[in-house]
Amino acid sequence: MAMRDALLSEFNQEMTNTRRMLERVPDNRLDFQPHAKSFRMNRLAGHVADLVSWATYTLQTHMLELEVAKFVPFDPSSTQELLSRFDKNVREARAALEESSEDDLYAIWTMKREGQIVMTMPRINVLRSMVMKPPGPPSRPARRLPAPARHRGAGNVWPLGRRGRSRERQQGGIAHPLH
């Protein structure tokens, strides 16, 4: 199986799931804004619908120059308008992907923002990381939870001291069973 065919299969699955999600955006709540600093629902859903167009730009150009001052976000006024835009972008992206060769997928692509290079990577990586599985919010580092109560025995001193070690362990005593 050629890489393009595998990518098309992945693309089709992701676009089906994304469309299902966009279908659930309620017409009567497009102006919903969970917080004053958040996007309204129509703007956020419009952004998701337009992310697909990056596939077309990526496959048909060697560079994208983002100019923030000229950017006009898509703010749909209805779910139908949102789905129409998404479907159009999916058709164009699928056609660009079907026309691409193996060499096209591995060609280097660059994105600039106001003259500064933001990223340079093979097109296939851009498609996978920015179009099909866009980055989510940054994850929080895993928090170390205290050991369950059944592991807190007579040999353990609680609470934890510096660097997550029990005070007793820091002083060379009995180690915590999970350390």
The count of structural domains within the chain is 2
Instruction: Write the pLDDT tens digit of every residue in 153-172.
Output: 545 444 555 555 555 555 55
Supply the pLDDT for residue 35: 86
Q: Map the chain to HEC letters.
A: CCHHHHHHHHHHHHHHHHHHHHHCCCHHHCCCCCCCCCCCHHHHHHHHHHHCHHHHHHHHCCEEEECHHHCCCCCCCCHHHHHHHHHHHHHHHHHHHHHCCHHHHHCEEEEEECCEEEEEEEHHHHHHHHHHCCCCCCCCCCCCCCCCHHHCCCCCCCCECHHHCEHHHHCCCCCCCCC
Does residue 35 fall inside a structural domain? Answer: yes
Does residue 110 contact residue 119 with C-beta atoms inside 8 Å?
yes
Measured CA to CA, the distance from residue 90 to residue 125 in angstroms comes to 18
Supply the pLDDT for residue 179: 47
Count, residues in the chain: 179
Q: Give residue 161's domain range.
A: 152-179
Does residue 102 fall inside a structural domain? Answer: yes
Supply the pLDDT for residue 73: 86
- CATH assignment of the domain containing 106: 1.20.120.450
Asked if 101 and 29 sit in the same domain, the reply is yes
